[in-house]
Amino acid sequence: MIPTKLLMYRGPRGGAPRSEARGDAFRRKKSCGELFQKGYRVRLGPRGVAMEKERQKGPYLALWTSLSFLCKWGLRFLRALRLIQFSEILQFLNILKTSNSIKLVNLCSIFISTWLTAAGFIHLVENSGDPWENFQNSQSLSYWECVYLLMVTMSTVGYGDVYAKTTLGRLFMVFFILGGLAMFASYVPEIIELIGNRKKYGGSYSAVNGRKHIVVCGHITLESVSNFLKDFLHKDRDDVNVEIVFLHNISPNLELEALFKRHFTQVEFYQGSVLNPHDLARVKIESADACLILANKYCPDPDAEDASNIMRVISIKNYSPKIRIITQMLQYHNKAHLLNIPSWNWKEGDDAICLAELKAGFIAQSCLAQGLSTMLANLFSMRSFIEIEEDTWQKYYLEGVANEMYTEYLSSAFVGLSFPAVCELCYVKLKLLLIAIENKSELGESSILINPGNHVKMQEGTLGFFIASDAKEVKRAFFYCKACHDDITDPKRIKKCGCKRREYTYAPPTTPTTPTLTPLMTHHSFHPQPLPHLPLSLNNLPASLDDYFSFCH
C-alpha cells in the first residue's frame, strides 16, 4: 500500500511541482527507470525542491543523468546472476539426483553467470563512456563482442581485436583479470574432470514396446558371456525377440566389448551394481521378464561366491519382489538360505541351479546307465549339426548331438488320443520324438508326466516335450491338421493351413518368450507361461532322471 501524501508529481514539461492528496492505492511493481521516467520522486521535505534544482546544473547533472540511465535499463545485465540458482531449480524438479551432476551444474552456472554479468558491465560502460568525459569517449560494441572480449581476457589470450577504451572499462578489466583468471584456472579443469569421469556405460535402458528383455548379472566375463550368448542366441532356436541387458560394476575389456558389438542388436551392457537401487532402475528390472545371476565356477571359495549371489538376490527382491530370478549356486546346502527371503517363490518361477547337485546327479545316474550323463549333456546343450560324408559311427553321433529338447503345444487333432498313439503319430508322421507332456488337474495344478500310459488322454492346450534338431521342427505338432496333412509324406510341408474345421482353443503368444527359462518341475502347482518350442533348463533335472531312465528302458 502507498500511503497518502507521500508522492509528489512533477509535470513532464518542467512545470512547477505540485502536491495532491491521493487515496490509498495498491503499488504496482516498477523499476527505478520507470519511476524516473514517469516523474515520481520521494518527497524530501522543504529542502527537496532546492536540492533538485541544484542537481540540474554543474557536475550534479552528469551524475544524476548517469544514475537515471543506470536505473532505467543499464543494470539489466545483473539478471544473469539468477543462473546461480539454476541447480536448485533442477533439484526441485527432481532432475538432478547425484552429487556429481549437482556439482557440475553448480560450477557451470557460476562460471556462465559471472561471464555474462561481466560482459554486460563492459557493454554498459563502453557504449556509454566515462561520466567525467561527458560521455564522449564511448565506442559501439555489441553484447556478444563483449562476451568474446571477456572470454579471451579470462583465458589470458588477449588477441587485441576488441579492447576497452573507457577508463571505467579498463579499470574493471584489471580487477576482472585477477578474479576471472583464478576462476577460469580452477573451474574449467574441474568441469572437464567431472564430464570426463562420466561412465561410458552409465546410461539407462530404453524399453521398446512389444519387445521383452532379461537382465544378466553376477560373474560377467568373456567366457561366461560367450557361453551364455552362444546358447541363448543359437540359430536352432526360433526368432528370439528378447533383448539381453548385462549389468556389472566393472567396465568390459576390449575382447568383451567386441563381443557385445557383434551382438549389438540384442545385447546391451550397463556399468553398475545390483546392490544399488539406482542401477536397478536404470536397467528397468521391474519390467524385465527375468533376472539371471551367473556364478563363478572356478572361484577358490564356493561359499563366498554363493553368499555374494544370495546378496544379489536379496537386493533385487527388495527392489522388485515380483521379478523372476534364476540364480546359479555352487553348493547345495546354500540353496536353503534362499527360502528365508520373503518374496522368493518357487511356484512363480524363482529357481536356483546348483552345479554341484547336477554333477552329483549325473554321476549317480551314470552308475545305473552308462553313457546317460553324456546323452543328457548333449541333449541340453545347443549344437549345430555337422555333416560328414563318411558312413561311420561319428556321423550318427553328430546327428544325435544336434538334437535338443523343446516344448510346443499340441494341435486339436491330437485331442482324445492316448499318449502312445500321439507318440507314434509324431514319430512316424511328423518325425518328432515326444517324451513327456504337461498334465493339469481339475484343481489347476500341473505336473510333468514322462511316458505315461494309455490312461492319459490328450486335452486342449496340452504342452508336449519333444526332442528335435531345431525349433521349427516342433512347430509341426502345433500346425498338424488331420484333414489337410493326412496325405502328406514330407514332414517339411506340414505348415499352418487355412482349414475352417481346425479350431484353436489355445493360442500361443504372438511374440517368442525367453528360452531356457522354464524349469523341469514335477508335481507342482505352478502354471507355466506359454513357452512354445523352447528348450528346457537343467534345473531339478536329477529329480526326474529315474522316470527318464525307466522310459529309456
CATH architecture of 385-537: 2-Layer Sandwich (3.30)
Distances (CA, A) of 320 to 32, 188, 281, 400, 513: 58, 41, 10, 42, 20
pLDDT of residue 204 exceeding 60: yes
Q: What is the per-residue pLDDT for 97?
A: 75
Rounded distance between C-alpha atoms, residue 496 and residue 498, angstroms: 7
- For range 314-319, the mean pLDDT: 94
Query: 359 vs 38, 72, 341, 539, CA distance in Å?
Result: 94, 87, 26, 12
What pLDDT, on the 0 to 100 scale, is given for residue 317?
A: 94
Q: How confident is the model over 162-182, as pLDDT tens digits?
A: 878 888 888 888 888 888 778
- Residue 477's pLDDT is 86
Task: Estimate to the nearest angstrom the gap between the alpha carbon of 46 and the chain centroid.
Answer: 74
Quickly tell me which residue has 585477477 as its cell: 178
Task: For residue 505, give every residue at least 6 positions away whose Cβ sits within 8 Å of its Cβ, in sequence order, or none.
Answer: 412, 460, 461
pLDDT band for 312, please (50, 70, 90 cuts). Answer: very high
Mean of per-residue pLDDT scores for the chain: 75
For residue 130, the model assigns a pLDDT of: 83
Residues spanned by CATH 3.30.70.1450 within the chain? 385-537
Q: What percent of the chain has pLDDT over 70?
A: 74
- What pLDDT is recorded for position 44? 43
The segment(s) of the chain belonging to CATH 1.10.287.70 are 78-198
- What CATH code is assigned to 78-198? 1.10.287.70
Which has more confidence, 207 or 23? 207
Tell me the C-alpha to C-alpha distance, in Å, between residue 123 and each of 80, 133, 227. Answer: 14, 17, 66
Q: Residue 7 pLDDT more than 60? A: no
Q: What is the CATH number of domain 216-233+243-358?
A: 3.40.50.720
| Model confidence pLDDT, tens digit, residues 535-547 | 333 333 333 334 4
Residue 26 has pLDDT above 50, yes or no: no
- pLDDT tens by residue, 101-125: 888 888 888 888 888 888 888 888 8
